[in-house]
Amino acid sequence: MQNKTKVKPPQTASNNHQHLLEMLFSVFTVSILLTGMAWFVYSKSQHWELMDLKLSDKAVLLGILFNQPLLPLSLALAISWGLLYLKRPILAKSITWGASWVVFIWLGLNLCSLSILGNQLSERIHFLGNDTALEMIGGMDIVYSMIIALIIFTVLIAILIGISKLMVSRLLHRRSAEVKFLWASSAALLYLFFLIAPVLAISSFTRPILILRLTEMLPVSLPLASVKERLEADPTELLREINRGLDSIFPDYAKKLKSAPPADAIKLLGTPKNNIVVIIIESYRHDSLNKNQMPKLNEWAKSGLNLSRHYSTTHTSHLGFFACLYGRSPFTYHQTLDAKVPSVLTKTLRNAGYRTTFLAGSDMKWERMNEYLSELNFDEIIFDKQIDSWNWYEQDRGSLRKAEEILTRTSPQLVFIHLNSLHFPYKYPAKFEYYKPVAALTAATSYSVMMNAGKASKEFRQSWINRYHNSLAFTDDIVGNFIEGIDPEKNIIVVTGDHGESFYDDETWLHSSRQSDIQTMVPMVISGAGIPSEKRTDMTSHIDLVPTLLHTLGAKPEALSRLHGRSLLIPRPTDEENTENAILLVNSSVDHFTLLFRNQRLHLKYEAEKEKIYSLGFENPKGSFLPLNNKLSEKPHLWVKVIRQKLEKFVR
């Protein structure tokens, strides 16, 4: 008997069409899920409910969100389509499924990051490569949280892809090759429509600022019309006038802003002898300095200059430290470090015979901080590292003990101290647990934050506030005791924070996400020889600290005029047209700014490579965009004037 071997039929065009339809249908299914999630996250963060959106507005915004995963997958699908017709179906499907999983999981995790912290995932992922930074956001807990979220998204996407393939299989069961071709062609055309239609709709959209605001938050760049064309088409007259003014003045400064001017030492009258101690407390909320949470420091603050409306100029540590030490706006952060420019404060005091010291518990290897918290500015750098690196409060105690020893030296001293206990997750010794219940520090800490962040229940929020308040009590105790042992006639003491901290006050957690009041306002108290006893309510900022200290030590006011800030010992003009009181808040990437002027907040975007600066509208104190039709200032020339004045100082 002749043996018959069953031969597998060759790949046919009909099979190709079915495979293509399966891939396209799976991409559409998961894209619909992501679009729904994205709509919820972006509409909430940008407060679209206040924007009086029309149906056409919603359609364009929805199209952009649906387009977001389709754009990066276009190349993978095109390659897979070609491989199908080269009779490589396994390789074709592997490329499509692999690319889809990468894109969908990345976008899903990015939405988690935005909804919790208000940051793109790309702005947080580099924490994982830095032990110090990882420790400060919760250590391995945050890694566990990301793994859990990754598993959830992976399982969800696998289920959706499986359901999509099953539906296509049943839909095309026993269908003719012609029908399969028709279905596959229709799906491909639909894919192209969703890829192209949103971009075409944007070009004629009547509210382009909305598009700009949305695309600033997307992790995928979309091919849109030029910024200038979009801004010129916006119906908001005030913004059009402001952006036209910026467009006319910025070319005068664009190239100069790419480099930093040197720091010239300032001549001091006489020979100053007073020590200067600057204590920078991590994540220090502006409302923390009160008689309940910090009774010792609250009482001490009455003896000096207490600035109750003080801004750190930023919402992140590396820029807050920089502003305090340099007296320069963080706008010039990278230019200053690239040029290896020292602080005018440390340069001046070193010339006057001061020894400079920086004390902290960690090595500050974060966002270039170690480049300026270094021998560039300090004669001595001391890190109080404990055996248990999580024991931040012991590190803080060690730093203050070392500072006490340094201040007994015969030569005058400038000492900068960083205290870290108030950083998330807020550490303190057990005896300072005055406020209960507190959030537990377990392997699920960050996962708990992730799962509860959007809810922000009263109990959940209070448990973290209680932890923070307990850490405040500890900080108040050690700093208060330290100050009590210092002679106020021989020392100038500064206590402030690098930035604030949010417990969902601005609908985000922690810091480094929004230029809101709660994340950028901090206490600032300066006390000691030559400092008046006064509580101030006018707007001040970190860049005012250096000129104030130098003025106290004998620098002439005209010598301070080149600095970005102003001495707080000189009265400020209060007339309506004055622009000196404006404050510029800078985001962690140094490309978005909020200009505070006359109790209003203008959001600015800086594109260094394109040498452009423009406005995306006004914000409220929570850092959320206001509706575009909000009636604010009727004087756009004042906004342009104050921005020009800031730029003029930055390039001096």
Does residue 294 sit within a domain?
yes
| Same-domain status, 130 and 47 | yes
Question: Can you give the C-alpha Rg of the chain in angstroms?
Answer: 29
Does residue 159 sit within a domain?
yes
| Same-domain status, 248 and 171 | no
**Residue 315: is its pLDDT beyond 90?**
yes
Does residue 133 sit within a domain?
yes
Of 530, 560, 590, which marks where a domain is finished?
560
Comparing CA positions, the residue from 380, 355, 382 lying closest to residue 276 is 355
| Same-domain status, 341 and 445 | yes
Q: Whole-number mean pLDDT of the chain?
A: 83
| Same-domain status, 172 and 305 | no
| Same-domain status, 526 and 636 | no
Q: Which domain holds residue 415?
A: 273-560
| Count of CB atoms situated within 10 Å of the CB of 159 | 10
Comparing CA positions, the residue from 529, 262, 555, 324 lying closest to residue 412 is 529
Does residue 236 sit within a domain?
no
| Same-domain status, 488 and 602 | no
How many Cα atoms within 13 Å fall on the side-chain side of residue 414? 23
Q: How many domains does the chain have?
A: 3
- CATH assignment at residue 297: 3.40.720.10
| Same-domain status, 450 and 552 | yes
Please give the single-letter amino acid code of residue 343.
S
Does residue 575 sit within a domain?
no
Does residue 498 sit within a domain?
yes
The pTM assigned to this predicted structure is 0.83
Most confident segment among 25-29, 195-199, 419-423:
419-423
Of 510, 525, 560, which marks where a domain is finished?
560
pLDDT at 232: 66
Identify which has the larger pLDDT, 250 or 205.
250
| Same-domain status, 556 and 603 | no
What's the pLDDT band for 535 if we cut at 50, 70, 90? very high
| Same-domain status, 249 and 222 | no
Q: Tokens 């470090």 label which residue?
A: 337
| Same-domain status, 322 and 448 | yes
Please give the single-letter amino acid code of residue 33.
L
Longest dimension (CA), the chain: 117
Does residue 220 sit within a domain?
yes
Q: What is the pLDDT of residues 98-132, one digit of tens each?
A: 888 888 888 887 887 776 656 676 666 655 555 55
Please say whether the beta carbons of 447 and 507 come within 8 A: no
Mean pLDDT in residue range 222-241: 67
Contacts of 532 (CB under 8 A, 6+ apart): 304, 305, 569
**Residue 25: is its pLDDT beyond 60?**
yes
| Same-domain status, 541 and 591 | no
| Same-domain status, 641 and 542 | no
Q: What is the pLDDT of residues 162-198, one digit of tens each?
A: 888 888 888 777 777 787 788 888 888 888 888 888 7
The tokens of 530 are what? 């030559």
Q: DSSP code of 373?
A: S
Comparing CA positions, the residue from 608, 641, 602 lying closest to residue 623 is 602
Q: What is the pLDDT of residues 59-104, one digit of tens each?
A: 888 888 888 888 888 888 888 888 877 878 888 888 888 888 888 8
Does residue 571 sit within a domain?
no
Peptide bond into 425 cis (omega under 30): yes
